[in-house]
Amino acid sequence: MTHFISRIATIEIPVSNLETSIDFYTTVLGVFTDFKDQNTALLSFHQKGIPTIYLVKTEEFNPLSFINNQSKIEHSIIDFYTPLLKDFYKFLEKKNIEVGPLNINEEGIGGFGFKDPDGNLLSACNIEHLGQ
């Protein structure tokens, strides 16, 4: 069987204020602005195989997140990886960015949620999956 898809190319995120969002994502995530026009911006980690982030200005705004029917926990659709989970958490707190509880298990594996300026729920984890 032929597999046509080999990776995620781009993650598209709705935003209400493009400049504010570019500042947030470049400052918080350390991404670079590869392209920008009046309504969109393409951000990149400048690493091969890592998806780009495409910010799209919209007036029909619905923040990104969903509720798990079983646990009733609000989930993000994007988990960013960091081996320095506790340090990243403290960094966000110092920047007065809304963060959820820091959840770390006995093995030191965990994550937490945080919100961008539009209320899009994002999360960070220190879990590496096969192939990453």
* Rama region for 123: left / alpha / beta (φ>0; ψ in -120 to 50; rest): beta
Instruction: Give the C-alpha separation, 104 to 95, whole Å.
Output: 22
Per-residue confidence (pLDDT) for residue 60, from 0 to 100: 86
Per-residue confidence (pLDDT) for residue 61, from 0 to 100: 76
Q: What CATH number does the domain containing 97 carry?
A: 3.10.180.10
Per-residue confidence (pLDDT) for residue 132, from 0 to 100: 67
Instruction: Give the C-alpha separation, 78 to 84, whole Å.
Output: 17
Closest CA to 78 of 121, 27, 44: 121
Q: How many domains does the chain have?
A: 2
Domain boundary residue among 20, 35, 60?
A: 60
Name 80's Cβ contacts closer than 8 Å, sequence gap at least 6.
29, 122, 123, 124, 125
Domain boundary residue among 19, 38, 60?
A: 60
Per-residue confidence (pLDDT) for residue 5, from 0 to 100: 83
Name 112's Cβ contacts closer than 8 Å, sequence gap at least 6.
85, 89, 99, 100, 101, 102, 103, 123, 124
What would the two tokens of residue 88 be?
């990243």
**10-residue averages of pLDDT along the chain (132 residues):** 83 96 97 98 93 94 87 90 96 96 94 95 90 68
CB burial class (10 A; 0-12, 13-18, 19+) of residue 105? exposed
Identify whether residues 84 and 116 lie together within a single domain. Answer: yes
Q: How many CA atoms lie within 13 A of 85 on its CB side?
A: 21
Per-residue confidence (pLDDT) for residue 128, from 0 to 100: 84
Per-residue confidence (pLDDT) for residue 18, from 0 to 100: 97
Identify whether residues 79 and 123 lie together within a single domain. Answer: yes
Instruction: Give the C-alpha separation, 81 to 60, whole Å.
Output: 29
Identify whether residues 79 and 122 lie together within a single domain. Answer: yes
